[in-house]
Chains A and B, each alone.
Chain A
Amino acid sequence: MGRDYSYYALCRLLDPHVLSTPETFKAYPPSTAAAISSTEPREKWPGSTAGPSTRAAFPTPMATISARATAMWPIKHRRKSPQEFRRYFPPFYLRCRLSSRRQKDHLENAMNTDHDLEAASGGVALRKGALLMATIPVGILLNLGLGTLVHLLRLPLFVDAVGTVVVTLLVGIPAGIATGVLSFLLGGLLVNPVMPYFSGTQAAIAIFVGLIARGGGFRSVPKTILTGVLLGVVTATVSAPVIVKLFGGITGSGSGVITAFLLASGHSVLKSVFLTGVSCEPVDKALQCLLAFWLLKSLPRKLKDRFANAGYLQRNFSK
């Protein structure tokens, strides 16, 4: 009874021809009964009459890595989360990562299957792949949408990295880089064909925000403003060479006046562009960091829980 019985009740629905009464279920050989409640796909169940699945068969997660991992990994740590595994045995994890990302996801899935029934009942899966697939498009659309809106309102700002900051804080640095680069590539398609050449700036923003967030740089409003100011300096540094090479120093926005003034006073072009950036970007980036901070503070608890294992939300926004 108990846990077994709930599986039986479901199994009856899945394959009524095989398991028609509780007695037949109990009479099933224990190995096959265990196979039924495992994570094997339904087609592999003994006696199953279902056709072949359209899904490709993946190697079982622990089979490929587990032999060496379980040998070298003490038993008391076996139930920990993927993060713990990573921290405990980094070189091995790196080797796993280099071999196949799919295997890594399966490893995390295998470790997460130990969650209890309540978590499963909510239909909430904390799988990282789903988080990436969900958050990155929202980040891209936030970048493009806000950037276009601010441009239409003719404000002297470029609010075009809020999505990158938000995704980095929610999921992590690689996702943030993907968001920034993809949003500028798509922006080249939809908005302005020169945007793709500034993707490097977005990648730098994601990396910087991730590193600062690791140290808790978004814990309060003053800290966020400071982070934004520093981010502005970093952005100015990274985009200065691109502006010099592509635009000859003048981007056609209002800040060109400052550059002109600096150039007229005899500074070198790289220095003028950098100084212009340092005077305009920190305000813009501080505003964007504050907006990101405010958005993440207003997330409902259910969404925050989904991102509990990823990103830097725990370090910065947990009450």
Chain B
Amino acid sequence: MVGTVNHMGRGGNPAAIQHMKDLASFINSNQGKPVLLEGQNFSGRTALLRRWVGEWSRLGGRAIYVGPSVQQSISSLVPTVRSELQLHLTGSRHGEALLHLAESFGLGRCFDQSPFTLSGGEQTLLVALCKLGLEPALLGFDGAMEELDRQNAGRLAEVFSSPAAERAATILTMNGYAEDRPLDLATRVQVSDLTPGAGGRAPLFDACQFRFTAPNEAGCLEAEGISFSYTPGSPVLRNISLRLEPGHIFSLEGRNGAGKSTLARILVGVLPLQRGWIAFNGRAINPWKTPGQIAVMHMQNPDVQLFADTVAAEVADLPACSSGAAASMAGVLDMMTEHPFDLPFVLRKRLTFSTVAHLSRPWFIFDEPTLGQDAAACDQMVAVLQRIAEGGAGVIVISHSREFIRRVKAQSLRLENGCLNKPGTTTS
């Protein structure tokens, strides 16, 4: 069932109260089932969730907000996954059930590891189980579900439909394409913001003016026999070989933790080449010695990629004509004196994406560029990637959004158990 609620204005206007009443009654009538708030970026969903959580906590109830980066919600008060579960689930009515769920998801073999060593999907599941164990009245999951693959998304649905979640009002937020939404997860509610003039227009991600600067030398990227392991004895990548032609877009696919980011980092030069060789345009290179020269990468977490005091300084190290273009593409032209960390998550992601897209290199790697972006922004990103490929460079994109991969017409490279399947045409 999909309902439509119009959210008009913020603050104490009668319209906002109207909205809260409608949404509250909707959530009430759906008690026990999570509610998924859909809408464009800047439609006010995060503000609404945070406001509710804040007010609820002020009134003395228990309300929990989990933001887009799940790492922040791991408590870090205890060293192992087992003690994290103990900390949250002791005294809960559904503690046993949640613990059984954890074990059935395969978290049992990670019980003695630090929670920070788990993969993103496992961390999301752990956080969901723990927060439900605290028996909150309101649980808000803001965009924390976008990096989950199919299996983990199904597991999360199982968690939210378990008896432990019956008394909690679970509100989820998701962005991206509608085709990627897990249909049976939650009841969907469309929220749109009709605020003429209140707070200004929402910043748009606009790729019409994007001009790609062709690199000096474009060439084919080959690799043979790449193996890598973080700890000796447990290889993450086994004997990977590939040959990627420029001018095309490739997508690295695989489950959470399959080694996609690892391969990307080796190609860029962030991780050393333990075994195998890499060649660019026929000559052997070692990206570890000169990182970021043949291939640049846009990483998943924008917070580790912002290095300056102001947005202007952030785009200043691009070539002169591109810095203004990068800022206008990300929609931050009127925020040039703001600190990058003052921008919301969506804009930080767009800014880092723009900065990388305006560089001039033979190969580009984008790791989850669509996190937190709504469908319109995703389409613009598709246009950007296609224009980069037309300009003669090669693009590798890592994304869990099947719709995005389909629209960008990428050739898929599937990583399973550290081995690469042969490149073929995209699967729909």
Q: List 29 A-B contacts (CB under 8 A).
A: A3-B12, A5-B17, A6-B17, A9-B20, A10-B52, A12-B24, A12-B25, A12-B28, A13-B138, A14-B56, A14-B59, A16-B28, A36-B59, A38-B60, A39-B58, A39-B59, A39-B60, A42-B59, A42-B137, A117-B55, A121-B54, A121-B55, A123-B50, A297-B309, A299-B339, A300-B341, A300-B342, A302-B342, A303-B341
A56 on the interface (CB 8 Å rule)? no
Mask: chain B, 1-30; 1 = CB below 8 Å from A; 0 = not = 000000000011010010011001101100
Interface residues of A in 283-309 (CB under 8 A from B): 297-303
Residues of chain B within 8 A (CB-CB) of A40 are 60
* Complex contact A42–B53 (CB within 8 A): no
Residues of chain B within 8 A (CB-CB) of A38 are 60
Residues of chain B within 8 A (CB-CB) of A302 are 341-342
B91 on the interface (CB 8 Å rule)? yes
CA distance A123 to B48 in the complex (A): 11
Residues of chain A within 8 A (CB-CB) of B341 are 300, 302-303
B140 to chain A, nearest CB (A): 10
B47 on the interface (CB 8 Å rule)? yes
* Complex contact B342–A301 (CB within 8 A): yes
For the complex of A and B, the 8 pairs showing the least CB-CB separation, nearest first, are A121-B51, A300-B339, A300-B341, A120-B54, A41-B60, A123-B50, A123-B54, A300-B342
Counting chain B residues whose Cβ lies within 8 A of the other chain, the interface size class is 35 or more
Q: Tell me which of B24, B56, B169, B309 has the highest count of chain A C-beta atoms within 10 A of its own C-beta.
A: B24
CA distance A97 to B17 in the complex (A): 42
B16 nearest CB neighbor, chain A only: A6
A1 on the interface (CB 8 Å rule)? yes
Give 15 A-B pairs besides A13-B137, A13-B138, A299-B339 with Cβ atoms closer than 8 angstroms.
A1-B17, A5-B21, A7-B59, A10-B24, A13-B24, A14-B61, A37-B59, A39-B59, A54-B91, A121-B55, A123-B53, A123-B65, A298-B309, A298-B339, A300-B340
Interface residue ranges, A against B (CB under 8 Å): 1-3, 5-7, 9-10, 12-14, 16, 36-42, 54, 113, 117-118, 120-124, 297-303
Residues of chain B within 8 A (CB-CB) of A120 are 51, 54-55, 58
Q: Tell me which of B27, B47, B55 has the highest count of chain A C-beta atoms within 10 A of its own C-beta.
A: B55
A306 to chain B, nearest CB (A): 12
Inter-chain CB contacts under 8 Å: number:
87
Residues of chain A within 8 A (CB-CB) of B47 are 121
CA distance A301 to B342 in the complex (A): 7
CA distance A189 to B52 in the complex (A): 43
A53 nearest CB neighbor, chain B only: B62
Residues of chain A within 8 A (CB-CB) of B138 are 13
Residues of chain A within 8 A (CB-CB) of B55 are 6, 10, 117, 120-121
Residues of chain B within 8 A (CB-CB) of A12 are 24-25, 28
Residues of chain B within 8 A (CB-CB) of A41 are 60
Residues of chain B within 8 A (CB-CB) of A297 are 309
B98 to chain A, nearest CB (A): 16
B67 nearest CB neighbor, chain A only: A123
Residues of chain B within 8 A (CB-CB) of A118 are 11
B65 to chain A, nearest CB (A): 6
CA distance A124 to B51 in the complex (A): 10
CA distance A5 to B339 in the complex (A): 37
Interface residues of B in 50-94 (CB under 8 A from A): 50-56, 58-62, 65, 91
Other-chain residue from A6, A42, A124, A301 in contact with B60 (beta carbon distance below 8 A): A42
* Complex contact A13–B27 (CB within 8 A): yes
Residues of chain B within 8 A (CB-CB) of A42 are 59-62, 137
B343 to chain A, nearest CB (A): 9
B308 nearest CB neighbor, chain A only: A298
Other-chain residue from B14, B21, B137, B338 in contact with A9 (beta carbon distance below 8 A): B21
CA distance A6 to B55 in the complex (A): 10
Mask: chain B, 202-224; 1 = CB below 8 Å from A; 0 = not = 00000000000000000000000
CA distance A40 to B12 in the complex (A): 24
Residues of chain A within 8 A (CB-CB) of B20 are 6, 9
B169 to chain A, nearest CB (A): 6
Interface residues of B in 177-218 (CB under 8 A from A): none
CA distance A74 to B61 in the complex (A): 33
Residues of chain B within 8 A (CB-CB) of A121 are 47, 50-51, 54-55
Residues of chain B within 8 A (CB-CB) of A301 are 338-339, 342
CA distance A86 to B28 in the complex (A): 45
CA distance A71 to B51 in the complex (A): 36
CA distance A298 to B314 in the complex (A): 13
B139 to chain A, nearest CB (A): 12
CA distance A52 to B24 in the complex (A): 25
* Complex contact B17–A9 (CB within 8 A): yes
CA distance A116 to B309 in the complex (A): 30
